[in-house]
Structure 1
């Protein structure tokens, strides 16, 4: 009579072996080291902005040097008479207005390409993506000549239209991926109850896709706020933007490092504040659809 031998059971701890735990710890340390590697230049810029120009120009830099607000005083024009507020207002106007226009155009387009797909919708998406393949400098001269002929040079609304056109393709791609995650059954139930398209947008699509809308709007705002190539060529005195204003600190007398760092910190604050304000929505939007 043969006896069946039961297979031996392996008793493994849920946490894995020592090798796996050490690998997890090493990955954690690597993540922290990578984060510090990218954070240190920012921290160094902030610290340098509170130094005087002689201390900021020393080599090696003086970490324990006396802290001062002279760089910020220079930036805000209390000693030079050059105020950054018009440039900051122009950047805010162009960034906010273009982001609003992008969302107003991208959400209906993404709805047509995801929830109510049109014929050859993949070709439409490829067309949107192909508009980003042309280098920006290649279209600079035609845009400059067109703006000159119609009298729109040094006009902030021209920059608003350009930023809208530049950010619209990526916004359509992002919003389509977000709207594609909305269950069609919810929309069909709303249609059976007699809800119109505007009601569906206002009460169903917008609340569900709010994280994606926040992520898209923040990215478009950052791209518009940081753009400098077209602003440098197409704007002048009245419509200069904040990135162009920063270049004014590089003069024939040299690079004023403390002033540049103070200006960079001040110009970066609106983007940082917007990012922290929309942090929860941004994380939800960027991870939307990642886990089924």
Structure 2
């Protein structure tokens, strides 16, 4: 009976996984079709396949949009980590007075929808001459992701035994040594989890990238939307562009999967 339940659970798990994976697999398959085959009803399975759609995507300039997305996502993630790690350490290992009020202030900055603040942000950037600027977009991503990163990193630091920190202090470690050489190696999985989440949030951000950029600093999400216009949907080419767009996130998740699982298990999502 127990083996039957285990087999049933395994089968159900595989079915659920395939249901979630099927749209992605179909998108990749469609990216190799012609436009006529991609738009046919009922859908065609046996058809000629080619890489023409991928060539067309890069001829349309996707390389520049990918560069902008990498620049904004990686730079904003690094800045968030540089700011969030010492801040979260100070709020956990070396707590200040009214720490809950400080944490509430950080998370309260996420209460306001981005759409509600876009007008003042737009005019501020216009006044500073920073519209369609990849650096300005990166700093906006830092402001968006920093509160979440601080909350997550604080949860990870709270999992570090105080005895380890006290032993380092007895051995004469200063604050920098205590953080960099003692605590950070323990919470590396948590740092990886925070970095991956911030990278994904920045990579997938659409609203700010659409409103605040036009050409020079435009990222991949608005580029994908450009395939839907008055002339119709270019489904096969759009599928090729979307496949390329998801590859960096999939690759980052695959490379950091062990650290990510360990990091999430440390208490960041409890």
* TM-score normalized by the length of structure 1: 0.89
Structure 1: gaps (5+ residues): 1-17
User: Distance between the aligned counterparts of 2:122 and 2:27, measured in 1?
Assistant: 35
Instruction: Provide the residue aligned with 2:124 in structure 1.
Output: 146
Q: CA deviation at 1:195?
A: 0.8
- 1 or 2, which has the higher helix percentage? 2
User: Distance between the aligned counterparts of 2:118 and 2:6, measured in 1?
Assistant: 49
1:66 to 22, 25, 48: 48
Pairwise mapping of residues 76-155 of structure 1 onto structure 2 (< 5 A)? 76-77=58-59, 82-155=60-133
Deviations 1:140-161 (A, max 9, x none): 1111111111111010011111
2:10 to 7, 28, 37: 28
Give the stretch that moved more between structures: 208-217 or 106-115.
106-115
Instruction: Provide the residue aligned with 2:214 in structure 1.
Output: 236
Secondary structure of 1:76's partner?
helix
CA root-mean-square deviation: 1.3
Instruction: Provide the residue aligned with 2:23 in structure 1.
Output: 41
Deviations 1:70-111 (A, max 9, x none): 11111010xxxx321111111111101100110011111111
User: Distance between the aligned counterparts of 1:118 and 1:63, measured in 2?
Assistant: 62
Q: CA deviation at 1:21?
A: 4.2
User: Distance between the aligned counterparts of 1:223 and 1:142, measured in 2?
Assistant: 22
Instruction: Provide the residue aligned with 1:52 in structure 2.
Output: 34
Q: CA deviation at 1:289?
A: 4.2
Instruction: Provide the residue aligned with 1:224 in structure 2.
Output: 202
Aligned length: 268
Higher RCO (CA-CA < 8 Å; seq separation 6+): 2
Q: CA deviation at 1:250?
A: 1.5
